[in-house]
Structure 1
């Protein structure tokens, strides 16, 4: 799979009211995450097409509940699932793998892939190289956004990211959950917490900002550019 231009659509509440749906759908490939919907009136702001959807193990059940929209076999959509290697075991004990096998029996036309253990280790090494932090020692759990952006770098010549902003203004964490947690508070709580494993959203977005100075990555809704590096 290769795309000259990609629209990477986040799940941020910042997307609402922007009317960027048609612009997003004009990209050669449209990449979405987890169970973020395009129906129910969201299409005007987030678009309606989906070429690739990256899904965390924790979102599997929500995707299955919304299978009539998200797993529509008539769409030419590729699905990539990721999770701990124990969830992907093929010996009958892998929870996500077992669900994917069942889903494939019901919907055999779906193009479904899982991220291998070897590839997961490569994502860990990339996180350590870019941040100087060992993911396990720092109790960090890579976000779906991290996997999606890294996959997009492999697939896309140009990446237009919609809704990904630093935590600077209040907005729902998910555009489809307006009464859910607030984005800024979610970022800060995960970044600061040292008990248990948490996403490091702010750290990850600092890396994305750095990548945008090297790779063909652009941010929209709101529109912004990475500040230049200080001498």
Structure 2
């Protein structure tokens, strides 16, 4: 066996002639074979030399490893990063808060909205303690129940839709569709929303103000979490992961997934992040929405997805548009954000908004992206500052809480 450890063609020295391993280095005898031919004392000496040689070679690696370990131990833990970055806003006294709230409550939407003044108002308002006002919230809920009724009328179901019914599109009013057996089978038997309100709800917008907000854990603690337009959740520290209801704008399906005409698996895989959520779509707002909405329904069904697709009733959206027009919003069409905020006012006892911010700078005047995941600008069909005016007003009144900036 020892002969195999010698290089081919070399002559193995006689056992008695070997006094040290250096004598056999030309034969490349292994340390084990060498020690077998040495006296026990010499073997120990050579073993120590080999051990020290290996330690010397490993010493730089050990130093680097120890240094990295020490550096890691001194790093703030991930759970503490948000706590370290939190800067508390100095509180203002009660009289100043009351004065500020009177100014905001008396403001009129018909006045010219100045973004700088809106930002100043909400910056000062964030320094005041938020006080819930169930009475005013109940007034909003009563108004919305009379005009819109989210529990019974927001979603198409087999209770509020019948075979042969003619549906007029919400925006393209010249176009109609007749309810057939295929469509009726796609609808839930009844409304997916309970008549009894949820406790706490988080409505998560997509504003760039959410980035580095550390609001994720707070959002996930809500009883019911509502999200807009399939926004990515790979910013969980800031936006959380929990989802109970998410809207899917058909334009996203058309642009990003080619209306699901070819590959559908990437879409089904992407949807897994939204867990067992309801996916709310408007198939009868524009004619181009219908095909995309149907294909989303069938794609998720074919891949046995956890999500369930539900459809907006166009009549509900028309009534909602009328409600906000009477209050002063003059946009061609309401944004998805205010549709969901309005629904939450009916569905929930306590509503908190995150990521609703229509401005290009934050509370400190620093530039902020339009969305927390990109800087794509919204269409001109919406009136975001007008909608934000009402969010600010409802926050001041104690109807909902508008979370802007870092979460505690």
The question of a shared fold, defined as TM-score above 0.5 by the shorter chain, is answered with yes
Q: What's the CA shift string for 1:82-106, capped at 9, x where partnerless?
A: 25534388xxxx3234323422432
What is the deviation of 1:208?
2.5
> d(CA) in 2 for partners of 1:211 and 1:54?
23
**CA pair 77-165 structure 1, distance change in 2 beyond 3 A:** same
Structure 2 unaligned segments of length 5 or more: list them: 1-192, 261-265, 362-366
**CA pair 152-21 structure 1, distance change in 2 beyond 3 A:** same
| Equivalent pair of 1:13/1:175 in contact (CA under 8 Å) | yes
SS in 1 for 2:248: strand
**CA pair 132-166 structure 1, distance change in 2 beyond 3 A:** closer
SS in 2 for 1:158: strand
For the pair 1:67 / 2:268, whether they are aligned, the reply is: yes
Q: How many residues align?
A: 198
For the pair 1:98 / 2:294, whether they are aligned, the reply is: yes
Alignment-derived partner of residue 82 in structure 1: 282
Alignment-derived partner of residue 45 in structure 1: 238
Q: What is the TM-score normalised by the length of structure 1?
A: 0.73
Alignment-derived partner of residue 229 in structure 1: none
What is the deviation of 1:69?
3.2
| Equivalent pair of 1:37/1:70 in contact (CA under 8 Å) | no
What is the deviation of 1:14?
0.9
Alignment-derived partner of residue 147 in structure 1: 339
> d(CA) in 1 for partners of 2:288 and 2:277?
21
Higher RCO by CA contacts (8 Å cutoff, separation 6 or greater): 1
Alignment-derived partner of residue 350 in structure 2: 158
| Equivalent pair of 2:230/2:247 in contact (CA under 8 Å) | no
> d(CA) in 2 for partners of 1:221 and 1:209?
11
For the pair 1:211 / 2:383, whether they are aligned, the reply is: no
> d(CA) in 2 for partners of 1:106 and 1:72?
18
**CA pair 59-3 structure 1, distance change in 2 beyond 3 A:** farther
Q: What is the TM-score normalised by the length of structure 2?
A: 0.44
| Equivalent pair of 1:160/1:219 in contact (CA under 8 Å) | yes
What is the deviation of 1:209?
2.6
**Structure (1/2) with the larger helix percentage:** 2
Alignment-derived partner of residue 174 in structure 1: 371
